[in-house]
Chain A
Amino acid sequence: MALAQTTQEGPLGIGAAPRSGELAQWVSRHGPILLLGLFMVLFPIIANDFFVRQIAGWTMILGMIALSLMFLAGYGGMVSLAQMTVAGVAGYMIAVLGVSSLPKVSLFWPWWVAAPLAIVIAVAFGTLAGALSARTEGIYTIMITLALAASFFYLTLQNWPIFNGFNGFTTIPAPYFLGVNWGGPVPLYYLILFFAALSYAVVSYVSRTPFGLALQGARDNPRRMEAIGYNVTAHRIAAYAFAALIAAVGGILLVWQNNQISPFSVGVDVVINLLIIAVVGGLGHPIGPFIGALIYVILRTFALDALVAVGLDGRRFQTLIGLGFLVIVLFSPDGVVGLWRRFSARVRGNGGRNGL
């Protein structure tokens, strides 16, 4: 399975500041994504709270966490199923260190202490997971990270002193600062949008840095990279740490969006759904996970009604997801992004470039 194509954009990244002469070129190259960004900024004006919070919010949060998976799988060749767990660790930590309805467990530290600390702990966990699996090759990564993820799920389920077992934590408020209650639908939407756009930009940028290129080299031919003098294992562990940072931020946003976290937020099915999101969207481009997340969220929200409307049992939603996933894996290994690439290549009759 071709996990990823090398990015086909020019060397000029989003993070690089364009000079005035190059500005027009930069805008035209990144036109579609800038338009998308503008649309997302204006989205709350045209959409109601339900679409802002339930569709767009969830899409961007799941997209962020899937983006961290896509970074590892697409650029590093390491399909890590532990990314949802990293997000879950961050989410649990913000509940344990910060505010929740459980004074017996939560420490009630202010958000500006709890959030950074939660991110640090989650990144440490993600890096450890990476260090454990980075030494083994290819397919073992899936097994080890799935075992890690499932262990964490069973730990949260049975541990009461720290994770409050089966019940988890409820009423975890989003913070209140700069005079804004960030838990409201629209402020939270902009908070999520900011971090989702930031992580998208950073991933696109990092994929073109020497580090990102070395990581892609290690994906394609680790032995040759070792021979040239790169420390492949160190690059992989660093990639895990970077991906964990994105997943951790996503995890905190997830808790603020959801106001609660429980073992079923990090269950095996959730972990697997995240992989499905990333694969369906496409592992070849950082926009893929967001597309996958959008499809997933729309299916999750409307499939029940749609299935009932066509006379099928609405509870067979998971079968629908599984079948869709199988179709994508069997017929378009590079996901929806790959479908789009091939489609636009056929329309234009060129080598499959597209502006995204």
Chain B
Amino acid sequence: MSTVFADDKAAYGGVRGDAPTRWIARHPLAALAIAVAVVFVLWLVLAPWPTGFEAVFGRKRLFISALFNGITLGGLYFLVATGFTLIFGLMRNVNLAHGSLYLFGGYMGYEATQWTGSWLLSYVVAFVCCAVVGIAMQFFIFRKMEGQDLRQTLVTLGLSIIFSDLMVWVWGGNAIQIDTPDWLSGPIPTPIVVALKSSGAPMFLYYPRVRLVIFAAAVVLGVGMWLALHRTRIGMMIRAGVDDRDMLSVLGFRVQLLFMAVFAFGAGLAGMAGIVGGTFQSLSLGEDSHFLLASLVVVIVGGMGSIPGAALGALIIGLSEQIGTVYFQNYSTVLSFLIMVIVLALRPQGLLGRR
């Protein structure tokens, strides 16, 4: 019984920060395997590859760029999936219109860059536009069918169909790309050796500046969100609501306001992610279902309603997609699919999810 007690203490923040240590103590072999894998990957990244290695893994440049693309794509997936997982965790609402919000934010950001010429301002525009749509959805529809999970989901489905058709109407079916601003465009050198020249001098990896900056922003945002959830009063209310929203409302907190705030924030994040996606890739018809699927898989793998889970899931899925595209061209989606199946079979609540 003592382990159960320790679990409870950790879950309610009684002992702060020692959860990883205890996890390692309880699963020494798994921890060792993870440590070895991390060291191996670090070595793969940092050291110049010995000859013969390239026969197995292909050229190092290919591997490194797949790795970097995967991690930065994970950052993008994280931006989309956190809103999804927050909304689900608090309101039990599977928002199948989340992909539409992503695409809508991207298009609004595109319009904003066209009008104002400012890439940064477009984030504000996209956030506000999507947040307003989110508030409207919560206020006019979901507030009236609280607790009816399936009906809410069906409504989001209907909305997603209407939204995507209307967006095709306005912006057409062609792909739209948001231009990277000058101060972010172009590659920057990284201290990672890709190959050795015939003279023996090392060649370093050059990587698009914008992707690194956006990844850093996603990390900052993730850490900020974790802090907000765990160190502020609103965060406390959200966590309490995830655990038991009836109790929260009985205690006199204004749950409806909280719901609207979370819906607005989650929708706004999806909108900002739309600009990131429009800069990294492009915006077009079908991207909404692509990013809805990505959020679903990320959240299923990471664990429903958990922000660290969304981060881990996004990293895993981003990496598996990019590495899969390089090494198993015809089967790269099968890789993420297999990861999802394995996680579901072993841990149906997701890697970091709670029952």
Contact = CB atoms under 8 A, between A and B. Distances in A.
Contacts of A333: 151
A142 B345 CA distance: 17
B48 interface: no
Interface string B63-94: 00000000000000000000000000000101
A139 B149 contact: yes
Nearest to A150: B293
A322 B167 CA distance: 14
B165 A319 contact: yes
Contact of B289 (A1, A150, A158, A323): A150
A275 B157 CA distance: 10
A179 B71 CA distance: 60
A323 B158 CA distance: 7
Given A144-B344, A279-B154, A326-B155, A158 B333 contact: yes
B348 A142 contact: no
Contacts of B158: 276, 322-323, 325-326, 329
Interface stretch (A16-24, A130-138, A184-192, A294-302): A130-138
A132 B159 contact: no
User: What class of interface size applies to chain A in its complex with B?
Assistant: 35 or more
Interface in B298-355: 299-300, 304, 329-334, 336-337, 340-341, 344-345, 348
Given A147-B340, A150-B293, A155 B155 contact: no
Contact of B330 (A159, A269, A316): A159
Contacts of B330: 158-161
B153 interface: yes
B296 interface: yes
Interface in A16-43: none
A315 B345 CA distance: 43
Interface in B133-187: 148-151, 153-155, 157-162, 164-166, 169
Residue with the highest number of chain A CB atoms closer than 10 Å, among B151, B155, B157: B157
A132 B300 CA distance: 12
B108 interface: no
B169 A315 contact: yes
Contacts, number: 115
A329 B161 CA distance: 14
B94 A139 contact: yes
B297 A147 contact: yes
Contacts of B304: 140
Contacts of A107: none
Given A139-B92, A147-B296, A155-B333, A1 B151 contact: yes
Contact of B169 (A159, A275, A316, A326): A316
A330 interface: yes
A79 interface: yes
A17 to B, nearest CB: 38
A279 B345 CA distance: 29
Contacts of A230: none
Interface in A238-275: 268-269, 272, 275
A236 to B, nearest CB: 13
A19 to B, nearest CB: 42
B101 to A, nearest CB: 16
Contacts of A326: 155, 158-159, 162
A132 B345 CA distance: 7
A325 B348 CA distance: 31
A66 B163 CA distance: 24
A136 to B, nearest CB: 5
Contacts of A316: 165, 169
Given A139-B94, A329-B158, A158 B332 contact: yes
A85 to B, nearest CB: 12
Given A1-B150, A333-B151, A142 B337 contact: no
B162 A154 contact: no
A164 to B, nearest CB: 11
A168 to B, nearest CB: 15
Contacts of A155: 331, 333-334, 337
A135 B348 contact: yes
Interface string A59-85: 000000000000000000001000000
A326 B166 CA distance: 15
Nearest to A133: B344
A96 to B, nearest CB: 14
A336 B91 CA distance: 29
Contacts of A329: 151, 154-155, 158
A143 interface: yes
B293 A147 contact: yes
A275 B158 CA distance: 11
Interface string A151-185: 10011001111000000000000000000000000
A143 B300 contact: yes
Given A1-B148, A159-B331, A326-B155, A268 B296 contact: no
Interface of A: 1, 3, 79, 132-133, 135-136, 138-140, 142-144, 146-148, 150-151, 154-155, 158-161, 268-269, 272, 275-276, 279, 313, 315-319, 321-323, 325-326, 329-330, 333
6 contacts: A132-B344, A139-B153, A142-B153, A151-B336, A154-B293, A272-B157
Which 3 A-B residue pairs are closest in the complex by CB-CB distance?
A322-B161, A322-B162, A318-B165
